Structure formats: structure tokens, C-alpha cells
Amino acid sequence: MTTTAPRPATGAAGRWKEVLRSPTLRTWVFYVPVAVFSSTLAAANWDARRSGPGGVEQAGGLSIFLWLAGILIAVSLAWRRRYPVHVALLTAAVTLLLPLDPVAALIAFGSLAVRRLDRVVAGVAGLTFLATLASTWRDGRATSTEGSFWQLLLAPPGEGAVLEPLSWWTTLAIALALTATSFGIAMLVRDRQRTLATREEDQVHQQVVAGLNDELARQAERERLAQEVHDALGHRLSLLSLHAGALQMRAGDDPALRESAGLVRWGAEQAMTDLRSLLTMLRKPGGPDVADSIPSLRDMALLIDETSRTGVTLVSTVQLESIDELDDLTSRSAFRIVQELLTNARRHAPGMGVRILVRATPAGGVEIEAANHLLPTAAAEVVAGGGLSGIATRVEQLDGQWRCWVDEERVFRAAAHLPWVPRRPDTPAPATWQMEEAQ
């Protein structure tokens, strides 16, 4: 069985729902027309009550003035959100002084009660009640249904044209009921807004809690991986350094063996240093000391010296301009790319010379080129392993360009270009990566 999602409301009902959701449209499409209509009805009833022999023209002119005043206070409801207290006081005062109906005053008072509940609202409530009471009392003084809305609404069927004015307790009950209804609707709207705000706040809190739970789970996983890496690789590297030191002590008068053992020991110690930095980064990825432990282009000379000491024939060209103004991420990524290219050459073409070029300038960006001959038994094609794939990923993340190929002379060539990204002014310059000398 398939289910379909509920469709949004269409037709007249749907359009009215959309109108009522918008405060501006709700004001101009609903509140203002209702207030204008009620003011027109009040002016007409007042005109009917005032009409009499010899007073028709004067009553008609005053009713027009009264109608215009009603339109003005109806339009003033458009500013009840920006100036709620002023609009509520204006509408209540005009209703109290002029023979108008209290619709605009009740709407303004309800809008004010939605936004605040304090002594000012209590004072406005009293003034609104007096205005409603005065308007109801004036309307209830009429003795016919032609000049009174409440007489028309409350007159019993079959009654004659002449009616008794509304009693004082009926007038008081009507004023109390209208004021209480306006306040009750305001409280319902206020409670609904609080419910929606609380629901949105709960959703935000749930998202924060979910994010914290995910981060805690990732942190626990990082801690577990860091511990496993430390126990496994740390133990093996420590043994390697220990055995290399013993071999260096037993080398005797063989300088080549002593140098080789020293390089192995130094490499193991450097690997331990890198391992500690990587474990710190894994456990505290946002720590301030982690970034300083990652090498960058500032340490390119140390990387070239390290590679040369391993016995690799290396021809290097390094040109670095304004390197302190280069973004840290770009600088560190460029260092890792060069490091991986040199490692790739030592691993897949041992004994072959390597040529490396690193040029970093604000005008040209960061250019990295590497070239080395392939072994006679190696296939003349590029096999993208984890190292080359990692380089391609780094270059892609920095919006750079990457290419590697084997030319006709069986020379593996690689070229990368990274755009120059200036360092932000508030970012301190990183410290230079330090390498320990071989013992």
C-alpha cells in the first residue's frame, strides 16, 4: 500500500490561510476593513439617532466627520505592531470621546496584550474598557432598531418600533464581555506564540545535543584509533630505533655502516616525532599547538636535506617569495605534496635520481614539479596508488591543477599548481618545523 503526502490547501480556504499567516496582509485584508465597516455602521446609527425635524443637514455633516475619524483610527491599526501603546491609547481615546464603536480599540488592545503584560497594559485595559462602556452606553440609549446595533441584536421578536434603552447592567455586561474577549484572544495568541517559540528552541537544543553526541562518538573513536596506532607503530618504531642504535655502536671502524645505522635511527626518531604529532592531531584536531607541529613550505630546506641524507641523488630548485604571507593550509599542503613525491620516487625508483622544483610566488601561485627515471623492469604507465590519489585530492580541495605522466624517455613526471591564497591578517605566522640531527 502506498501513501501520499498531504497536499497543501487550495482554493478559497487555502488563500485565506495564507493571508492570515502574514501580519501585514492580515491587517489590511481583515482588521482594517472590519474596523472601517464598524465605523461606517456607527456613523450611520449616530446619524439616525440625531436625525429629527430641522436637524437633518447638520446631523449628516457631523456623521461624515465621524465616519472619517473612524476610518483614520481603522488605518492606524497598521502601525499597531511598531507603536502598540500609542495606537491602543489613540483608538481608545477617540472611541471614548466620539460616538464610534470600540472595534478598533479592542483590536489595538489585544495586539498590545500579545506583546507585553505590565502596568502599562493594565492602564490601557482600563481605558479600553471605559471606551467600550461609553460606546455601548451611547448605542444602547436609542429606542429603535434603526439607530442602535445592540437594540437590533438584542430586541425580542415581535417588539414594536419603540424600545426601552438598555439597562446599566446590560451595558456593563456587554462592555466587560467585549474587553474580556479581546484579552482572552490575545492570551491564546500569546500562548500559541510561546508554544511555537518553545518548540523551535527545543528543536535547536535537540540539534545541539545530537551534534554533541556525534562529536563525542567521533572523539571516542579517534581516541581508540590513536591508542591503537600508538601501541602498534610506537612499539615497532621504538624497537627499530633501539636496534639501529645498537648497530651503530657495533659498527666499529666501518664508517659507512655507522652512517647507515645513524640514518636509520634518525629516521625512526623522526617517525616517532611525526607519529606523536599525528596522534595529537587525531585526539585534539582543533588544538592550537597542533598546527605548529605540521611542517610547511618554510621547512622545505629541511625536507630536502633529509632526503639527501638517505642517499638519494636529488637536484632541487626552490624559490620562495613572501612565504609568510601564504595561507597555512596551502603552505602545508604543498609541503605534503613534495614529501609524497619524494617518497614515491624512493619507493618505486630506488637508486634513480630525482629532480624537484618548488616555486611559490604571489603572482604565480605555488608550482611543484618532480621527475625521475623509471626502473628498467617497471611498466611505462602511471599506476595511481594511495600516494598519488592523496595528492590529487589535496590539489582538488585547494582548487588547483594536477597532472602526472610518463614521457617517451621513460621519465615519470608530476606537476601541481596551487593558487596563492593570502594569509588572513589576524593569523599568526607558524613556527618552523624542527628536525633532530642524527646522533
Domains and CATH numbers, the chain: 15-153 (no CATH), 296-439 (3.30.565.10)
φ/ψ of 365, rounded to 5, equals 80, -155
Q: Supply the pTM of this predicted model.
A: 0.51
pLDDT tens-digit profile, the chain (439 residues): 344 444 444 556 666 566 556 777 788 888 888 888 888 888 888 877 776 433 444 445 677 888 889 899 999 999 988 999 999 999 999 999 998 889 999 999 999 999 989 999 999 999 999 999 999 998 888 777 777 778 777 776 655 556 778 888 889 999 999 999 999 999 999 999 899 888 999 899 988 888 888 888 877 777 777 777 766 776 677 777 777 777 777 776 777 777 777 777 777 777 777 777 677 766 666 554 445 557 888 888 888 888 887 778 889 999 999 888 998 889 988 998 998 898 888 888 888 889 999 999 999 999 999 999 888 888 778 877 778 888 888 899 899 999 999 888 899 999 999 999 998 766 555 544 444 333 3
Burial of 245 from C-beta contacts in 10 A (0-12 / 13-18 / 19+): middle
DSSP letter for each residue of 158-195: T--S--PPPPHHHHHHHHHHHHHHHHHHHHHHHHHHHH
Task: Give me the residues paired with residue 417 across strands.
Answer: 367, 401
On whether the CB atoms of residues 36 and 74 are closer than 8 A, the answer is yes
Q: Which residue bears the cell 638519494?
A: 312
- pLDDT at position 437 is 35
**Distance separating alpha carbons of residues 193 and 227, to the nearest angstrom:** 50
- Using the 8-state DSSP alphabet, how is residue 232 labeled? I
Cell digits for 138? 451611547
- pLDDT at position 43 is 82
**Distance separating alpha carbons of residues 31 and 106, to the nearest angstrom:** 11
Q: What is the dihedral of CA 141, 146, 150, 151, to 10 degrees?
A: 70
Q: Which amino acid is at 168?
A: W
DSSP helix/strand/coil, 401: strand
- pLDDT at position 1 is 39
Cell digits for 65? 466627520
φ/ψ of 251, rounded to 5, equals -65, -25
